[in-house]
Amino acid sequence: MESETDTRWLTAEEQCAWRTHLEVNRLLTHQLERDLQPFGLTMNDYEILVNLSEAEGRRLRMSDLAAATLQSKSRLSHQITRMENAGLVRRENCESDRRGLFAVLTDQGLETMRKVAPHHVASVRRHFLGLLSPESLHSLSSALTPIADHLRTHRTRP
């Protein structure tokens, strides 16, 4: 174990990389959020729509959806309630396990998806992917993948 008096502080390069990473995260999130706003959606909403639209039967169990989007059950429950009120999804009982519920993408939800997705993709390109050369993209991917694996493994709570 390392005592407080001999901490291995960050080098200039490490500090720069770390702060840049934090900054990109925050600014990028704000920007994407803003680009989604005219459609009345948040990134959270959008992510849920994506997950449901890609799922078998356009539906997912609440638990699975919570796991997929890395949210707490409570938060997802509130979120789905809001999206239900907006007509994007509906809840449906699960026959095989009567504790369970499905979140189901409505036709209107799918339609919204179709309308918004191109704009969102364009936004991701404009502010992120488009600024990376193919090599940069690749090295970014290979740098982040092990980190994602590590974090996924060590994760305890949502």
Partner DNA sequence: CCCCAGTAGTCCAGATTTCAACATCTTAGG
Partner DNA sequence: CCTAAGATGTTGAAATCTGGACTACTGGGG
Residues that bind a second copy (CB under 8 A): 2, 4, 7-10, 13-14, 16-18, 20-21, 23-31, 34, 70, 114-115, 117-118, 121-122, 124-125, 127-129, 131-132, 136-148, 150-152, 154-158
Residue 15 or 81 with smaller CB distance to DNA: 81
Verify binding: residue 127, DNA, rule CB under 7 A.
no
Helices (H), 37-133: 43-54, 62-68, 73-85, 107-127
Q: Is 103 helix (H, G, I), strand (E, B) or coil?
A: strand
User: Per-residue x/- marks for DNA, 70-109, CB under 7 A?
Assistant: -xxxxxxxxxxxx--------x--x--xxxxxx-------
For residues 33 and 14, give the distance between their C-alpha atoms in angstroms, rounded to a whole number: 28
- Tell the smallest beta-carbon distance from residue 148 to a second copy (Å): 5
Distances (CA, A) of 96 to 72, 99, 118: 23, 9, 37
Residue 79 or 112 with smaller CB distance to DNA: 79
Q: Which two tokens stand for residue 49?
A: 């729509």
Q: Is 107 helix (H, G, I), strand (E, B) or coil?
A: helix
- Tell the smallest beta-carbon distance from residue 42 to a second copy (Å): 14
* Piece in contact with DNA (CB under 7 A), picked from 5-13, 56-64, 118-126, 148-156: 56-64
What are residue 89's DSSP bridge partners? 105
Verify binding: residue 63, DNA, rule CB under 7 A.
yes
Q: Is 98 exposed, middle or buried (0-12, 13-18, 19+ CB in 10 A)?
A: exposed
The residues of the shown chain that bind DNA, judged by CB under 7 A, are: 42, 44, 61-63, 66, 71-82, 91, 94, 97-102, 157
